[in-house]
């Protein structure tokens, strides 16, 4: 066995020697009953030997590592030069000898496929499919050696380089092995996915098949038949018109041939062959333990497998502890935070919630199977979710209509107690619209947080963890306090009542939106207005403004005092941070960097406020909204009094308006209290992390973010940790960040997509959920990260999601469009309070709308037009 060449049966799990494709072929050839055309691998040692002494190659490689995806021209020029060098390099004699030796064993006269296999290819987290070259039907030793050089050179095609840059792979650490494999000449070939690539359903197997070699299908030259098989039964067949096929030529190489017209519409595989292929696919999937994307060829009734790789685009399935069917709903879509969370953040959220939650892909999902199974709780659930996100409700209706996925149970009154108690709390609170209720709830929460800050200072080690667990019980009491929930429900019920009743009595839609403007006690909108006040303090001091325009470091506050107005500025920003510094984008993940930890985040927003607003803008904005709401209230009551039984209608309406004005601001408060507590816990845990760094248990403080609360407790207790855990979790997190979580996913891994049911909309309309009334035109600013926001007065913010930390931007904008959200999520609540037309839950809004386009947002009807 040479280190330059390995036969398929000689390979162990040596990814760095044979690359992803080679490794998988070696594994496939070990599976009982699976036919793999015989062959061998020229290992990466041969490639490295060929180029290790070449100075020109290494110099160009160094230049390449400095480039970004945008530098297309330079990438093109350098990659062309590197390919030329590799093609001209002589293959080392010991590599050539080893290749000749293996070919003499298999038969030099045969035709071979010469295929690239990179070390960063066909991996569980990155497929790199089709990035390097493959050559078919190559005959003769000299020709095979020449094509090995061609494969080596293909490691530096433009597309392979760009893909590596995008996926964070170091060019100098990726090597190429070359597979030389006996050619088979199939009558049919194709691809088999053991999970449906469209819906991600793990039980639905999908086969593409066409005549001849698979190259025509992979390169998109021909349409393929598509067969779908589920648990041994063919459930769908689409027969394509196949005009072309690629076949091998006698003298080597391949050619495209026309297919006889009478054969073009024939089914490529028989029913029996389709089911045989399904069995082969399931056997390979079971061996690798993960859904596979498999390339196959059919020769004289025998299926040969020429490749198998993991399907890397599937969203992971939430873990369950049984084999039953389950339905999961995304928590991120409810919480306006669909980013991946780190393990410590996930475990804190799990400790805080009583809901049956499961983890998948760095996100949380609620298992709603039991609620869907019971008729009464099902209706409550569908109504609640339908209000917050119609796309979730529509997806769940699709599952219900199938009828066989969930086992329905006769109604059980016990199931309902929790949802019933919330609604009854709401109706009780409706009896008296007393503003002191909210003031008392806020005071009691604040007192509790102050006590926590005092008590936690004396705790460390295991005591700290016990103390935090105990305090989380206190947090849960506050979050799920029946009176607190009652206030929130009362405001929501009152808004629904107003909208429905005013539409019925006066023919006016979404009246509650106007009545909700500038309500008192909304901690989140107050936060946006308070940043305008900070701008007012700084505005008179040009030196400070100039200094802020150049700050990069987070200790910038210390240097402020040396400037005229610096002390005042420092005080104003510190006061703001004392009240709101525990907030940040994605704040439900306690590991995310808070404003107090990175105050530079606020600087662009403060400067934008100085530029875009006159002094005292916060009071004017709030007062303007309050006056509009009051005016709307008076106008409604006047009109109602003109109706039959008008006095009674006006009296009833006035009571509901008071509920909206007094209670709806409070809705943002419980979460503010929770985030406050999270930050106190986090600061205490980071002190423990410092001790672990000193004791060399972890490398950096933030390593603790990759452990769950329970694991961290154990590490602090024992001062022991296998650091592999941290490294693996960091890799997982990088992978999870790239995934897009579904709203609804089943235990089969199937992603169910909901649709908006709307009529009479303009043909080009981009549809979403209307959450704040009005129509506005303006420039779209597509912003993915809050730090990159450069807004001018009158812009329309288009983003994936907004949580409370985005609120300071709301003072500058005229309208809002988000991909995620519902009627009662933060963006919607604040948009109504600031009187901004808003449409949320717009699938792919940040891709469909381009930054700088003029758009019209229809906040009442729920759609966007590009002008």
The residues that are catalytic are 826
DSSP string for 134-155: EEEEEESHHHHHHHHHHHHHGG
Distance (Å, rounded) from C-alpha 585 to C-alpha 572?
22
In sequence order, what are the residues at sequence separation of 6 or more whose Cβ sits closer than 8 angstroms to the Cβ of residue 2? 94, 98, 101
Question: Which SS3 state, helix, strand or coil, does residue 276 take?
Answer: helix
CA distances from 197 to 311, 314, 654 (A): 8, 8, 54
User: Got the DSSP string for 340-370?
Assistant: ---HHHHHHHHHH--S-EEEETTEEEEE-HH
Q: Which of 498, 494, 492, 488 is nearest to 437 (CA)?
A: 488
Burial code of 289-328, b = ≥16 C-beta within 10 A, e = fewer? eebbbbbbbbeeeebbbbbbbbbbebbbbbeeeeeeebbb
Phi and psi torsions of 762, nearest 5°: -55, 150
Q: 188 near 211, Cβ under 8 Å?
A: yes
Q: What distances in angstroms separate CA 486 from CA 425, 493, 672, one per listed residue?
A: 5, 10, 18
- Calculate the dihedral angle through the C-alpha atoms of 769, 773, 775, 779, rounding to the nearest 10 degrees: -70
How far apart CA 758 and CA 765 sit, in angstroms, is: 11
Yes or no: say if 698 and 529 are a contact pair by the CB < 8 Å rule.
no
Q: What is the DSSP string of 369-426?
A: HHHHHSHHHHHHHHHHHHHH-HHHHHHHHHHHHH-SSS------HHHHHHHHHHHHHH
What is the pairing mode between strands 813-818 and 838-840? parallel
CB distance 165 to 110 below 8 Å? no
Residue 66 neighbours by CB distance under 10 Å: 8
Classified as helix, coil or strand, 585 is coil
CA separation for the pair 636, 115 (Å, rounded) = 75
In which residue are the tokens 């490794």 written? Answer: 23
Q: For residues 782 and 765, give the distance between their C-alpha atoms in angstroms, rounded to a whole number.
A: 18
Q: How far apart are CA 512 and CA 768, in angstroms?
A: 19
Look at residues 483, 121, 172 and name the one whose alpha carbon lies nearest to residue 307.
121
Residues in the chain: 867
Q: How far apart are CA 600 and CA 619, in angstroms?
A: 25
Helix (H, G, I), strand (E, B) or coil at 236: strand
Of the candidates 304, 283, 301, the residue with the CA atom closest to the CA atom of residue 292: 283
């Amino acid at each position: 066995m040479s280190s330059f060449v390995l036969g398929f049966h000689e390979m162990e799990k040596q990814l760095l020697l044979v690359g992803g494709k080679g490794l998988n072929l070696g594994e496939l050839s070990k599976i009982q009953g699976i036919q793999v055309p015989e062959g061998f691998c020229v290992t990466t040692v041969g490639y490295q030997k060929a180029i290790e002494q070449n100075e020109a190659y290494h110099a160009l490689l160094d230049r390449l590592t400095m480039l970004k995806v945008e530098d297309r021209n330079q990438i093109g020029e350098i990659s062309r030069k590197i390919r030329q060098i590799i093609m001209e390099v002589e293959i080392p004699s010991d590599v050539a000898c080893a290749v000749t030796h293996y070919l003499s064993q298999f038969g030099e006269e045969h035709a071979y496929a010469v295929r690239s296999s990179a070390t960063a290819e066909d991996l569980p987290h990155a497929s790199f499919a089709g990035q390097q070259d493959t050559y078919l039907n190559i005959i003769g030793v000299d020709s095979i050696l020449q094509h090995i050089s061609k494969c080596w050179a293909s490691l530096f095609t433009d597309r392979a380089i760009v893909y590596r840059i995008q996926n964070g792979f170091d060019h100098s650490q990726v090597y190429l092995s070359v597979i030389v494999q006996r050619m088979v000449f199939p009558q049919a070939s194709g691809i088999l996915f053991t999970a449906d690539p469209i819906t991600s359903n793990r039980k639905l197997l999908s086969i593409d098949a066409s005549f001849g070699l698979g190259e025509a299908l992979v390169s998109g030259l021909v349409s393929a038949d598509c067969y779908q098989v589920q648990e041994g039964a063919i459930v769908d067949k689409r027969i394509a018109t196949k005009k072309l096929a690629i076949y091998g030529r006698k003298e080597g190489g391949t050619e495209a041939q026309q297919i006889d017209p009478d054969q073009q519409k024939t089914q490529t595989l028989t029913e029996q062959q389709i089911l045989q292929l399904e069995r082969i696919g399931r056997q390979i999937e079971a061996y690798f333990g993960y859904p596979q994307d498999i390339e196959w060829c059919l020769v004289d009734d025998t299926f040969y497998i020429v490749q198998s790789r993991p399907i890397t685009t599937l969203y992971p399935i939430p873990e369950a502890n049984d084999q039953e069917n389950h339905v999961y709903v995304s928590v991120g879509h409810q919480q306006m935070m669909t980013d991946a969370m780190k393990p410590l953040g996930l475990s804190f959220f799990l400790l805080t919630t009583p809901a049956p939650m499961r983890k998948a892909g760095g996100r949380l999902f609620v298992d709603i199977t039991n609620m869907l199974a019971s008729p009464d709780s099902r209706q409550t659930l569908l109504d609640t979710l339908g209000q917050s996100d119609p796309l979730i409700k529509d997806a769940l209706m699709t599952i219900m209509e199938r009828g066989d996925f969930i086992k329905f149970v006769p109604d059980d009154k016990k199931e309902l107690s929790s949802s019933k108690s919330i609604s009854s709390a709401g109706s009780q609170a409706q009896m008296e619209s007393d503003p002191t209720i909210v003031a008392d709830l806020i005071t009691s929460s604040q007192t509790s947080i102050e006590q926590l800050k005092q008590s936690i200072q004396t705790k460390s080690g295991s005591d700290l963890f016990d103390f935090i667990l105990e305090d989380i019980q206190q947090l849960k009491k506050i979050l799920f306090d029946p009176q607190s929930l009652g206030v929130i429900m009362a405001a929501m019920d009152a808004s629904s009542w107003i909208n429905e009743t005013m539409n019925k009595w006066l023919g006016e839609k979404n009246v509650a939106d106007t009545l909700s403007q500038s309500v008192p006690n909304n901690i989140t909108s107050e936060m946006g207005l308070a940043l305008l006040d900070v701008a007012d303090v700084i505005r008179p001091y040009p030196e400070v403004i100039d200094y802020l325009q150049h700050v990069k470091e987070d200790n910038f506050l210390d240097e402020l005092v040396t400037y005229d107005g610096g002390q005042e500025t420092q005080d104003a920003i510190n006061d703001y941070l004392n009240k709101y510094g525990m907030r940040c984008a994605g704040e439900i993940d306690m590991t995310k960097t808070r404003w107090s930890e990175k105050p530079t985040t606020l600087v662009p927003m403060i400067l934008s406020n100085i530029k875009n607003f006159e002094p005292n803008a916060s009071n004017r904005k709030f007062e303007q909204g309050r006056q509009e709401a009051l005016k709307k209230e008076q106008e409604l009551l006047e009109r109602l009094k003109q109706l039959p039984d008008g006095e009674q209608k006006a009296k009833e309406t006035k009571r509901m308006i008071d509920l909206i004005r007094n209670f709806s601001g409070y809705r943002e408060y419980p979460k503010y209290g929770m985030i406050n507590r999270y930050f106190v816990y986090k600061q205490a845990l980071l002190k423990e992390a410092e001790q672990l760094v000193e004791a060399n248990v972890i490398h950096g403080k933030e390593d603790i973010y990759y452990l769950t609360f329970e694991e961290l407790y154990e590490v602090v207790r024992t001062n022991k940790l296998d650091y592999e855990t941290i490294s693996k979790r960091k890799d997982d997190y990088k992978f999870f960040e790239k995934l897009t979580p579904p709203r609804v996913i089943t235990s089969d891994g199937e992603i169910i997509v909901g649709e908006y049911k709307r009529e009479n909309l303009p043909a080009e309309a981009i549809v979403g959920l209307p959450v704040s009334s009005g129509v506005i035109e303006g420039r779209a600013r597509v912003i993915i990260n809050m730090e990159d926001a450069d807004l001018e007065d009158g812009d329309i913010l288009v983003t994936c999601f907004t949580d409370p930390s985005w609120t300071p931007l709301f003072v500058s904008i005229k309208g809002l469009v988000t991909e995620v959200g519902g009627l009662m999520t933060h963006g919607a609540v604040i948009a109504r309070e600031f009187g901004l037309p808003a449409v949320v839950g717009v699938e792919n809004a940040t891709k469909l709308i381009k930054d700088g386009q003029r758009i019209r947002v229809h906040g009442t009807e729920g759609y966007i037009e590009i002008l």
